[in-house]
Amino acid sequence: MQLDLTERVALVTGASRGIGRAIALALAASGAAVVVNYRGSESAANDVVEQITQQGGRALAVQADIADESSHDALIKAATGNFGRLDILVNNAGITRDTLLLRMKADDIDAVLNTNLRGIMLLTKAALRPMTKQRWGRIINMSSIIGLTGNAGQANYAAAKAGLLGFTKSVALEMASRNITANAICPGFIETDMTAHAFTDELRAAALQRVPLGRFGSPDDIAATTVFLASEAASYITGQTLAVDGGWTMY
């Protein structure tokens, strides 16, 4: 199976921590040059770059808030200017602002939709320009099982993540003739800062009951799926939603 990404160039949003960090490291380990985007965690992003370069890879940290479209051109240029092209966009950055809808403020809705959906749509649009010229591209969108099932206390997040699934299919249809694929990953419960902050011990135990494989996921589980979707081995897969959730949503 061909998972070699040598000569490929990737942009991973939110790659300073958690799932994005694991994805950046895994893409680099497969040979890709990686633009490591972060919003606030500069030293964590620099650590990711250092780890990649120490292992002989190519990487660059670039600060940008995905919700702010005025930063998008600079992000794309970081890839094309420094590494000559852009082949793989992993729209991983995401936030939560959890509360019940009856208590949810307009700001909580705007912040989550702007980062988790609107920003991704506009960044993808910008990334498609070099990909279209190259006639090769991979868009990989980090949705969530919450986008499939909904969740009490996460109406804003669920709406954004479900919206991402429709967006992914539309991009897949529009770009198929240019040899650009678009797919979405729906992680289940993955051990990161995001879940560490949101779940009490009681909620964690209840969540674990719902995972047939009997463990929570690790960022590396999502990174492995991302590398596969980015590779030549996945060239006949587009418009798909892949749950990587230990079986949580199978029934």
Give the 3-state secondary structure of residue 6.
coil
Is 226 a binding residue for ligand NAP by CB under 6 A? The answer is no
- The answer to the question of residue 122 lying near ligand NAP (CB under 6 A) is no
Binder to ligand NAP among 19, 62, 184, 230 (CB under 6 A)? 19
- Reading the block at residue 202, the tokens are 């009681």
Alpha-carbon distances, residue 139 vs 103, 197, 227 (angstroms): 35, 29, 12
Residue range at the interface with ligand NAP (CB under 6 A); choices 1-9, 131-139, 187-195, 199-207: 187-195
Is 157 catalytic? The answer is yes
As a whole number of angstroms, the distance between CA 133 and CA 191 comes to 38
What are the backbone angles phi and psi of residue 150, rounded to the nearest 5°?
75, 165
Q: Is 141 in the site for ligand NAP (CB under 6 A)?
A: no
Of 26-34, 91-99, 166-174, 223-231, the window that binds ligand NAP (rule: CB under 6 A) is 91-99
Helices marked H in the chain = 18-29, 42-54, 72-83, 106-113, 119-134, 146-149, 155-175, 193-198, 201-208, 219-230
- Please select the residue that binds ligand NAP; options are 30, 124, 144, 226, rule is CB under 6 A: 144
Task: List residues near ligand NAP by CB under 6 A.
Answer: 13-14, 16-20, 37-41, 65-67, 92-95, 115, 142, 144, 187, 189-190, 192-195
